[in-house]
Structure 1
Amino acid sequence: MTNPKIAPYGSWKSPITSDLIVAGSIGLGSIRLDGEDIYWLEGRPTEGGRSVLVKLSPDGTRTDITPQPYNVRTRVHEYGGGSYLVVDGRIYFSNFADQQLYKQLPNSEPQRLTPESKQRYADIILDQRHNRLICVCEDQTNPDQEPENSIVSVDLNNGEVKTLVSGCDFYSSPRLSPDGLKLAWISWNHPNLPWDQSQISIASVKDDGTLGDPQLVAGEENESICEPKWSAEGYLYFASDRSGWWNLYRYSNTGVPEPLYPMKAEFSYPHWVFGLSTYTFSSQDNLLCSYTQNGRWYLANLNLTTQQFNLIDIPYTDISALHATENYLLFVGGSPTQPGAIVKLDLSTQKTTILKQSTNLEIDSGYISIPQAIAFPTTDGLTAYGWYYPPTNQDYQAPDGELPPLLVKSHGGPTACASASLSLRVQYWTSRGFAYLDVNYGGSTGFGREYRQRLEKKWGIVDVDDCVNGAKYLVDQGKVDGDRLAISGGSAGGYTTLAALTFRDTFKAGASYYGVSDLEALARDTHKFESRYLDRLIGKYPEEKELYQQRSPIMFTDRLSCPVIFFQGLEDKVVPPNQTELMVEAIKNKGLPVAYVPFEGEQHGFRRAENIKRALDGEFYFYSRIFGFTPAEDIQPVEIENL
């Protein structure tokens, strides 16, 4: 190895380019088993973000099942999930373009099953006894009122849709018992989100397909229920945070849910999307589960008879989408040195095999920054958490005495959790000489309900304080340059970013990806799923209108004193484009450097390769101009007004 070159932070040449990231990276998830065949979904930026169903046969043959132009993706709750089902080679899926259900037989083109309508479908299961599908339905027919959510059946002969369960604002997770005689489901009502308060119910399924009177199983005030599953012997399992942590419970003939293995750990996570699977049965006696503590995920085996709980030693720190047979476990796994992948674990030998990686890039470890878990003091004597990535590039070192710029990431949700899995987008920054801090601010998942509830009535305060205090902690530790601090985030993280830039003076630049700037506008103009979210995060609207105004960055652009770049999908229904455009105009009028990069055809989050590349390079270019360093490679510039 040659001696490293001396060059300022930010100007290091990296092999981890945006072209390589988007060309070689795909999204992986939604694993399903059908006999000996394994299925999963691949989100492909190079195909316009199309979501493609892939089958892996026992002989190792991998086949794309979804032909162009079909896109396996539902928009129920706007975030989707649970978009397909496969049974005996027959596939049922939601097609993104028209949101209708399609049936696809082996070696054939998909055929539409449901009649053309404004209804959307998700979380699909099969009711073999009545030759029908059961799923969640979101009816968007009347544009002048909120969509109506229900659980419906879809006749497999003629596509007829019938309502089975209605009356609540939201539904998820319809699950049939093994004998087909009982249906379980989760429901919740405004102003709650499913991680605030939700309920699980059971009803008998009559011979004619209608349901008997529902029986409430669990879901008291301030209790969140998720992931119901039936065991082979007909017991109902689910996760509940009634103890303060999402632990697993079993509901049997006693009529009282019993905890399986109480721990101060989370065995599930917020129900933003359908189709979660953090546990699965490998046999009648054994349950395999993933759980998280302090931001790191673990895998364990729980013997349901002896209650013996054993950790399984695997090289992964992010573990999700679990599905098992008696012989092996499938999951999506990632670690600080390994990108996300579909992984197969042999349950007898404990050997793991990668079936598909999210990227085909092979990066020398000399360019990979390994995250360090940090805990730092924050407001009111509390502690917050994050993952710190030091700048790392084996070819370079900085001049003596120079400290690196820091990019603070405020994650979305705001209930999400910063992951320590290898992210080439993070390494894009660190390999060019940036330090990077991924903050698990108060409100994040993985630290129990009490930590999650730190954000109640304090969104725009607690999250901002934790991001600011994380940056200050690293400055005080002598790790980063206090004059070159930037903050970036998307969606709810975009709001935290804008609030931090507006109401604090710690950061010198920032990037907002489809971030909220006007809380009043968000309360009045967003989709049903989140339309009452701010009741808990801010207060009731319009009764507490003043609070909304006090925490809206758009109302206080006079306090902004640093440059900002904005990225926005023009078809975003969660955070509409006017949220960004009003902020851009206000900053422009103030004379501060500002850039705006809108994307046609994108919604809440960017899926197309060219737009992912443009955003990543655009943010880096923006900081290069603001912080005064010269990128090592040519980057398409963005127009910066008032520079």
Structure 2
Amino acid sequence: MGDKVQTLAYGSWPSPIDAALAAAHDGHPESVGFVGDEAWWTEPRPTEGGRRTLVRRTADGTEESVLPAPWNVRSRVMEYGGQAWAGLMRDTGPLVVFVNFADQRLYRHEPGGEPRPLTPVSSVGGGLRWVDPRPHPERDEVWCVLEEFTGEGPTDVRRVVAAVPLDGSAAEDRDAVRELTDDSHRFVTGPRLSPDGRRAAWLGWDHPRMPWDGTSLLVAEVTGDGLLGEPRTVAGGPEESVAQVEWAADGTLVHSSDTTGYWNLYRLDPDSGERTALCAREEEFGGPLWKVGSRWFALLDDGLAAVVHGRGATALGILDLDTGQVVDAAGPWTEFAPSLAARGSRVIGIGASPRSAYEVVELDAATGEARVIGAAHDDPVDPSHYPEPQIRSFLGPAGREIHAHVYPPHNPGAVAFSTELPPYVVWAHGGPTGRAPLVLDLAIAYFTSRGIGVAEVNYGGSTGYGREYRNRLREQWGVVDVEDCAAVALALADEGTADRTRLAIRGGSAGGWTAAVSLTTTDVYACGTILYPILDLTNWGSGETHDFESQYLESLVGPLAEEPMRYAERSPSEHADRITAPFLLLQGLDDVICPPAQCERFLARLEERRVPHAYIAFEGEGHGFRRAETTVRVLEAELSLYAQVFGLNPPGIPNLELTK
């Protein structure tokens, strides 16, 4: 090191972590799976238009991108997608099927050839979409979820379990797709076949419930001609969320259920209905099913299961299904994504830590040894510039506990003046049924290395802490989340960690809502950054968003038919006149989840007010930004906002022009 430590004002520390560096490391691997003995997964390519490619790890340990640009492996089922590929190893080599984002068709691909479409195009509404494919072990087809639009409206849609032939005969013929279920359930996951091939199991649920509220575990007999008989509900219900189901070798069903208040694992005899807890703990072995095909556990061949589990943070462990004992993998990872695959005694998952971004990890269940096999974290700068987070809990209104991660300003080459307290930005996560994981995020490091603190708040309603904590947000969205974020911000100021006059809030999607409501209902923050937000509950809840979340507000806010005034009273768009703090509003023009119309109405109501603000809309971006150039613009604009409001002097940052 040897360099002299400079004494500089917070926010003006020189940092090697620029916006381009943060953008290049945005996103992480997803959707791990085995193709024969090979590990495969998807990876983001921010500098290639934000596409996701399919990566193969060959027997000699080489990583190769299987699909060149512009192929983009990503499903739009329920808009959030999920498992968008599957593969099997044949004598001639690997065969994979995948969903291509641009046209949402399923394609068949054998490396060395060109992808060939398996499904047709429909010009009706959002067309035909597919997710969670599984090759059938005996039939030359893949079984998956079909989402089909029946009209032009966002809720003119049906979903069924379907079989797609691998020979390409359905590429131009919708009738060649075999529908295996009816559309009696509004939402379904992909089917799982029993070891003997005689039964299939899947999950279903219906409006107004979200999958973390209540789902049904369905089982049906497979008939001789490859169809499914009448399904039976064997577990789950309106107040029980089953998040995943798999068949064990003995023909029983292993599934996660939150019937006791935490997603725990159970074994179920589908004939007798007898259900046994496999590992009863006050921690989560499941999570919110935002993406179809998420996997928190994977069954091994010998009575063991790989599990992603924990309370708050998640570990990767091996669970003995007979004894209920869990042995966690040794290694630096403190967070694992809900994506697991198992083959023999091998398990692959996706792990990260506060010092490393998500990477593909292989665990040998026989030895307990774990190692990185793909997307290996490589420090782009000296890791001494990374933040050093603190896991904290705070007391909120009525003495309720609030979980948070606090990232103080940190730079090995700079300290602040002893008379100065640092500015802090409160980050509100999306969902709102979700959680901010404690992992290395160079977007956070972008601020902390310059002398701006960040506090990620896992406010009431967040997952990872049990159903009771999750249910705190029931009919309280825009209240509890806002109160919890404010409580953390003010506590940091009261204890002398943060400067009370230099607090900001930022969030995207549901976090954008929390940020906007915070600016219209509190005086805690000097400014805010609002990304692709919900701003108008009444319109969003009555046809302006996509089908999956179209009735989400029924539980988050209350029934619209009974509480119309509550929808209006909580909406920032109804109270734009209350905003006095400067803000930055960022929006993708292709966003169908939180459409640009919400931002435009909000800004129109601000026209008579002289509130400094900036609005940047990005063509070609949807819900959540994926392109490197977008991320660069976002981070630099955000930093410029804080510089102007907090009186900071960050070097080399383009000035954001605020409308006044």
Report the TM-score, using the length of structure 2 for normalisation.
Answer: 0.95
Counterpart-to-counterpart distance in 1, 2:395 and 2:494: 12
2:329–2:369 CA contact under 8 A, matched in 1: no
After TM superposition, the structure 1 = structure 2 runs for residues 114-125 of structure 1, keeping only pairs within 5 Å, are 114-117=119-122, 118-125=127-134
Counterpart code for 2:159: N
Shift of 1:256: 2.0
Match of 2:595 among 566, 576, 580: 576
Counterpart code for 1:164: L
1:339–1:357 CA contact under 8 A, matched in 2: no
1:178–1:230 CA contact under 8 A, matched in 2: yes
Corresponding residue for residue 335 of structure 2: 318
Counterpart-to-counterpart distance in 2, 1:338 and 1:30: 19
Residues 1:150 and 2:160 aligned together: yes
1:55–1:62 CA contact under 8 A, matched in 2: yes
Secondary structure of the 1:528 match is: coil
Corresponding residue for residue 225 of structure 1: 242
After TM superposition, the structure 1 = structure 2 runs for residues 190-209 of structure 1, keeping only pairs within 5 Å, are 190-209=207-226
1:32–1:39 CA contact under 8 A, matched in 2: yes
Counterpart code for 2:555: R
Residues 1:78 and 2:70 aligned together: no
Counterpart-to-counterpart distance in 2, 1:13 and 1:352: 37
Match of 1:171 among 167, 188, 194: 188
Counterpart-to-counterpart distance in 1, 2:376 and 2:507: 22
Corresponding residue for residue 101 of structure 1: 106
Match of 1:239 among 256, 274, 278: 256
Superposition RMSD in Å = 1.5
Secondary structure of the 2:604 match is: helix
Shift of 1:359: 5.3
Counterpart-to-counterpart distance in 2, 1:142 and 1:48: 30
Shift of 1:146: 2.0
Residues 1:460 and 2:460 aligned together: no
Report the TM-score, using the length of structure 1 for normalisation.
Answer: 0.97
Corresponding residue for residue 321 of structure 2: 304
1:141–1:147 CA contact under 8 A, matched in 2: yes
Shift of 1:314: 2.5
Match of 1:593 among 612, 631, 637: 612
Corresponding residue for residue 178 of structure 2: 162
Counterpart code for 1:181: R
Shift of 1:358: 6.5
1:24–1:360 CA contact under 8 A, matched in 2: no
Corresponding residue for residue 52 of structure 2: 51
Match of 1:134 among 124, 129, 143: 143
Corresponding residue for residue 90 of structure 1: 95
2:333–2:353 CA contact under 8 A, matched in 1: yes
Judge which range, 318-327 or 518-527, deviates more: 318-327
Q: Deviations over 1:211-250 (max 9, x none)?
A: 1121211013310011111123322111100000000111
Q: Deviations over 1:8-49 (max 9, x none)?
A: 101111111111122345521100101221100011110101
Counterpart-to-counterpart distance in 2, 1:257 and 1:122: 29
Secondary structure of the 1:624 match is: helix
Corresponding residue for residue 38 of structure 1: 39
Counterpart-to-counterpart distance in 1, 2:302 and 2:616: 54
Counterpart code for 1:558: D
Counterpart-to-counterpart distance in 2, 1:172 and 1:331: 21
Q: Deviations over 1:584-634 (max 9, x none)?
A: 3333431000101100011000011100111111111111111111112x2
Percent identity over the alignment?
39
Secondary structure of the 1:589 match is: coil
CA gap of 1:577–1:25, structure 2 versus 1, over 3 A, is closer
Shift of 1:168: 1.2
Shift of 1:487: 0.2
Counterpart-to-counterpart distance in 1, 2:317 and 2:644: 48
Number of equivalences: 640
2:150–2:156 CA contact under 8 A, matched in 1: no
Match of 1:366 among 384, 393, 396: 384
CA gap of 1:63–1:311, structure 2 versus 1, over 3 A, is closer
1:22–1:612 CA contact under 8 A, matched in 2: yes
Counterpart code for 1:150: V
Counterpart-to-counterpart distance in 1, 2:590 and 2:331: 41
Q: Deviations over 1:117-160 (max 9, x none)?
A: 21100011122333221111111241145211111111223122
Secondary structure of the 1:27 match is: coil
Secondary structure of the 1:584 match is: helix
Counterpart-to-counterpart distance in 1, 2:106 and 2:600: 36
Counterpart-to-counterpart distance in 2, 1:281 and 1:186: 18
2:209–2:238 CA contact under 8 A, matched in 1: no
Unmatched runs of 5 consecutive residues or more in structure 2 = 171-175
Match of 1:483 among 485, 498, 501: 501
1:231–1:284 CA contact under 8 A, matched in 2: no
Corresponding residue for residue 173 of structure 2: none
CA gap of 1:44–1:251, structure 2 versus 1, over 3 A, is same
Unmatched runs of 5 consecutive residues or more in structure 1 = none
Counterpart-to-counterpart distance in 2, 1:456 and 1:70: 40
Match of 2:267 among 231, 247, 250: 250
Counterpart code for 2:156: E
Q: Deviations over 1:254-281 (max 9, x none)?
A: 4222110110001111000122111112
Counterpart-to-counterpart distance in 1, 2:75 and 2:403: 34
Counterpart-to-counterpart distance in 1, 2:157 and 2:136: 25
Corresponding residue for residue 347 of structure 1: 365
After TM superposition, the structure 1 = structure 2 runs for residues 328-343 of structure 1, keeping only pairs within 5 Å, are 328-343=346-361
Secondary structure of the 2:540 match is: helix
Secondary structure of the 2:47 match is: helix
Corresponding residue for residue 513 of structure 1: 531
Counterpart-to-counterpart distance in 1, 2:210 and 2:27: 30
2:330–2:369 CA contact under 8 A, matched in 1: no
Secondary structure of the 2:608 match is: helix
1:588–1:594 CA contact under 8 A, matched in 2: no
After TM superposition, the structure 1 = structure 2 runs for residues 375-454 of structure 1, keeping only pairs within 5 Å, are 375-454=393-472
Shift of 1:579: 0.9
2:189–2:293 CA contact under 8 A, matched in 1: no
Q: Deviations over 1:72-124 (max 9, x none)?
A: 11100000111111111111111111111111123110001112221100011
Counterpart-to-counterpart distance in 1, 2:461 and 2:147: 28
Secondary structure of the 2:291 match is: coil
Secondary structure of the 2:425 match is: strand
Q: Deviations over 1:441-484 (max 9, x none)?
A: 00000010010000001000000000000001111110000000
Secondary structure of the 1:46 match is: coil
Match of 1:604 among 597, 603, 623: 623
1:28–1:358 CA contact under 8 A, matched in 2: no
1:412–1:494 CA contact under 8 A, matched in 2: yes
Corresponding residue for residue 614 of structure 1: 633
Counterpart code for 2:644: R
Shift of 1:514: 0.5
2:192–2:246 CA contact under 8 A, matched in 1: yes
1:456–1:536 CA contact under 8 A, matched in 2: yes
Counterpart-to-counterpart distance in 1, 2:145 and 2:596: 29
Counterpart-to-counterpart distance in 2, 1:585 and 1:486: 23
Counterpart-to-counterpart distance in 1, 2:215 and 2:599: 33
Secondary structure of the 1:33 match is: strand
